[in-house]
Amino acid sequence: MSLEGTAFIGWEDNPDHRLPFDRILTMHPVLRDEIGSMLHAEHDCKPEIWPFIALASVSYAFNIYKSIGLVIPHLYHESGSVLVRQLWEVSLNLHWMERDPEIRARDFGAFTVMEMRKTMQKTGASDSISEFDNATLRFQKEFRFQDKNIKDRIHSSFAARNVEQRAGELGDPWKTDYNLLYHLMSMHAHGAPGAVLLQYFTAHSKDPEKKERNSTALVAYISMKIMVANIRLMARCGILGSSASVDTIFSGVLEEESES
């Protein structure tokens, strides 16, 4: 089959830019600097598990956001999509924990035991697992269950729910993001055919550069939206101060008309 005969060739180009590329790339580092100043300020953080996990999660998310800022000026939207998926999942966990913060943050921390156990298995330290299991039994019992065949199983995540279930519980925008964006981002994360061959599909469009800029603008804008949502959560929980400054920056991102 020729390249022109594949299902992806022949799509009509959208004559309009969906997002203002130049404006978004200008505002992306502005938001970065404002969030950075908030996170590096002194915090009156209570010595409790939820504020600790929440602040650690947002700091981790912020490092991903900064990484996205390094790739988008070069139109590396494929790598940017992988980073956005990472940012989205970290943030999904954060917002899911907020619904029952003390218990879910505790489980988040305790699940590191299960991840350490799996690492021991993968690296050949199986001789020490029995001893490890005895020492961490109190932590592990929260994540063990029996399936319908009465076989012992271990939950694959701290939430005992998969990504789709967590997004569904949170509702929009997480549910909608999962149904569309998560799938598209996952194609790049897994090196799927639709991701690997995208460059050839784009090259056959009427304006390949416009498509590249559109995709990059979308990656950048989504990352901004997610980080603003995280800062708003931190303000709601009293872990950070007001989110007004990031709200103001983000509200101005799309104020310019889309490029023609």
**Tens place of pLDDT per residue across the chain (260 aa):** 344 544 444 444 555 556 889 999 999 999 999 999 999 876 665 678 999 999 999 999 999 999 999 999 999 999 999 999 999 999 999 999 999 999 999 999 888 887 888 888 787 766 778 787 777 787 777 777 666 777 777 777 787 889 999 999 999 999 999 998 898 899 999 999 888 887 777 766 677 777 788 889 999 999 999 999 999 999 999 999 899 999 999 999 987 544 43
Q: Indicate the SS3 state at residue 152.
A: strand
Identify the pLDDT of residue 3: 44
244 burial class (0-12, 13-18, 19+ CB within 10 angstroms)?
A: exposed
How far is the C-alpha of 18 from the C-alpha of 131, rounded, in Å? 57
Angle at 19 between CA 16 and CA 232, to 5 degrees: 155
Please list, in sequence order, all residues whose beta carbon lies within 8 angstroms of the beta carbon of residue 234, skipping any fewer than 6 positions away: 54, 55, 58, 240, 243
Identify the pLDDT of residue 46: 63
Identify the pLDDT of residue 144: 73
Angle at 5 between CA 182 and CA 183, to 5 degrees: 5
Angle at 72 between CA 256 and CA 199, to 5 degrees: 110
Evaluate the omega torsion of the peptide bond into residue 193 and state whether it is cis, within 30 degrees of 0: no
Q: Is the C-alpha dihedral spanning 159, 161, 166, 169 positive or negative?
A: negative
The model's pTM: 0.84
Spatial CA neighbour of 253 closest among 222, 212, 214: 222
Q: What are phi and psi of 154, to 5 degrees?
A: -125, 130
